[in-house]
Amino acid sequence: MTERCFIDRDAAGRELGAKLARQIGHVGLDRAPLVLALPRGGVPVAARVAERVGGDLDLVFARKIAAPFAPEYGVGAVAEDGPPVFDGEALTALGLTPADLAGAVDRERAEVRRRARAYRGDRPGPDVASRVVVVVDDGVATGVTARAALRRLRRQAARLLILAAPVCSREADHALAGDVDAVVCLCRPAQFGAVGAWYSDFAQLSDAEVTTALAEAHAASGTG
């Protein structure tokens, strides 16, 4: 039986925030860190991280592009803008080309934009230039979704870019090294499987729960 690493996303976020506070503490900051959640699952984790590190909480959007007939297997991802990111090895193994996935790219880009409107409304996205930015998800399996978000933020000139997750695969940890200044992860199982396997409670979140969590975090920090 799989040994769970975390009770739920809140507990995981508190533990992750404590580790990040230790690592960020030595960096001279003239502004609070910017903690960006990947919705939906990253939001409750990021809220606890932002509390612990005294960060500003906001969102960054990216969506997995799944292999045909294998919806859990990500072979690429897309952010709000910029080109899609693909896992070249996965495409080769499946005999696919980026052109084969053009329809999926369009669908996932539309969902990214829908979520941005639903969660942000008319509020502009965060200005990341020259800031310490922590991108938070509830787990990193292949890393391709995180890569799309990280590359978008890198183009926006973040000062220091950190990817943080309670649990991540060892393969993703290694693969993302070139896209980020640091990967902070609490649990790196030898045999990863699915992110939800490492939580006792991994209930899926609705749009309403995401917006409520964001509103509560902003109210608590006085930024709402």
- Mean pLDDT along residues 54-80: 90
Beta bridge partners of 158: 129
Q: List phi, psi (to 5°) of 194.
A: -100, 150
pLDDT by residue (tens digit) across 27-65? 666 788 999 999 999 999 999 999 999 999 999 999 999
Please write the tens of the pLDDT for every residue from 154-208: 999 888 999 999 999 999 999 998 999 999 999 999 889 889 999 999 999 998 9
In the structure, what pLDDT confidence band is assigned to residue 213 with cuts at 50, 70 and 90?
Answer: confident
Q: Residue 193 has what pLDDT?
A: 85
The candidate with the shortest Cα–Cα distance to 214, out of 52, 66, 37, is 37
Query: Cβ(12)–Cβ(199) under 8 Å?
Result: yes
Packing angle between helix 42-53 and helix 9-24, nearest 10 degrees?
40
pLDDT of 1 strictly over 60: no
Domain ranges of the chain: 9-219
Report pLDDT digits (tens) over 99-115: 999 999 999 999 999 99
Cβ atoms within 10 Å of 10's Cβ, excluding its own? 15
Cα–Cα distance measured from residue 59 to residue 190, given in angstroms and rounded to the nearest whole number: 30
Could you check whether the bond before residue 9 is cis, i.e. omega within 30 degrees of 0? no
The pLDDT tens digits of the residues spanning 112-156 come to 999 999 998 888 889 999 999 999 999 999 899 999 999 999 999
pLDDT score of 224: 58
Q: Which CATH class is domain 9-219?
A: alpha beta
Q: pLDDT tier at 26 (50, 70, 90 boundaries)?
A: low
Predicted confidence at residue 220, as pLDDT, reads: 77
- CB distance 44 to 217 below 8 Å: no
Count the Cβ atoms, other than its own, within 10 Å of residue 114.
Answer: 12
Element (H, E) at 118: helix 102-120
3-class SS at 22?
Answer: helix
- Residue whose pair of structure tokens reads 């709402």 in the numeric block: 224
- Residue 181: per-residue pLDDT: 94
